[in-house]
Amino acid sequence: MTRIHPTALVDPAAELDDSVQVGAYTIIGPQVRIGAGTVIGPHCVIEGRTTIGRDNRFYQFGSIGAMPQDMSHGGEVTELVIGDRNTVREFCTFNTGTFKEQGVTRVGDDNWIMAYVHLAHDVRLGSHTVLANNVTLAGHVHVGDWAVIGGLTGVHQWVHVGAHAMIGFQGHVAQDVAPFMTVDGNPLAVRAVNLTGLKRRGFSDDRQRQIRQMHKLLFRGSLTLEQARSEIEALGTDDPDVRTMLDFLAASTRGLVR
């Protein structure tokens, strides 16, 4: 049976699995759907057309599914979709999307999202990411699987952060961050391959060697971006890590952090 604190206000039209827990003074709106095993802490507001999957944990004082903070938004009904097994700590704010993209802000699975994180409209957050305290993702930011973003980092709108990338503390991210790279400093720059993360995820020595070669071609030589892209293609487009890099470069519109 759903365990709803007597002080919580859950709209009768909301769809909550029988195993969902809702804390004291939380408010849940009529267009919200929440899957099995999810726990919503006290003093949260979950509103808008928001779908939350299974086994998530939302701590206290979250604002989830509010309208986008976009002055051009005309009140259209857009969505927030959150996957499974995410941990969302205190004071996080996730907004719904806009029709500048697909009308959806989307969060994947197994993410670790610390306190005061903001996900603006149309953000696409992959799976297995870590967003440390006070990370702010502006509108239309895309973050790949397994990325790690350090505390107090702000990411400019439309920026893409590649899979397995790591951004250091207090980063000011105004250009795209290539997959597998560690970026840090002010101004932000590529420091190395994120070898610690790759090793933790079981990347073989051969895979690491291939990624280090892509790092060298992109950031440590005198090649233009197009020349580096051609050299990376020559490494073998059937290789999944090469494909990840090439697909990212093809979608990049803001230039790369170098």
Q: What average pLDDT does the segment 46-56 reach?
A: 98
At 148-194, the pLDDT tens digits run 999 999 999 999 999 999 999 999 999 999 999 999 999 999 999 99
Q: Which one of 97, 139, 144, 162 is the catalytic residue?
A: 139
Q: How many beta carbons lie within 10 A of that of residue 205, not counting itself? A: 8
- Name the strands in the sheet holding 39-40, side by side, starting at the edge strand that comes first in the sequence: 3-4, 21-22, 39-40, 57-58, 87-88, 112-113, 130-131, 148-149, 166-167, 181-184, 189-193
Q: Which one of 84, 109, 122, 241 is the catalytic residue?
A: 122
Is 122 part of the annotated catalytic residue set? yes
DSSP character string of 204-253 = -HHHHHHHHHHHIIIIISS--HHHHHHHHHHT-TTSHHHHHHHHHHHH--
Q: Which one of 118, 121, 128, 142 is the catalytic residue?
A: 121
Q: How high is the pLDDT of residue 192? A: 98
Q: CB within 8 A of 61, min separation 6: which ones?
A: 41, 43, 44, 90, 91
Q: How high is the pLDDT of residue 1? A: 59
Note whether 121 and 70 are within 8 A (CB): yes
This prediction's pTM: 0.97
Is 139 part of the annotated catalytic residue set? yes
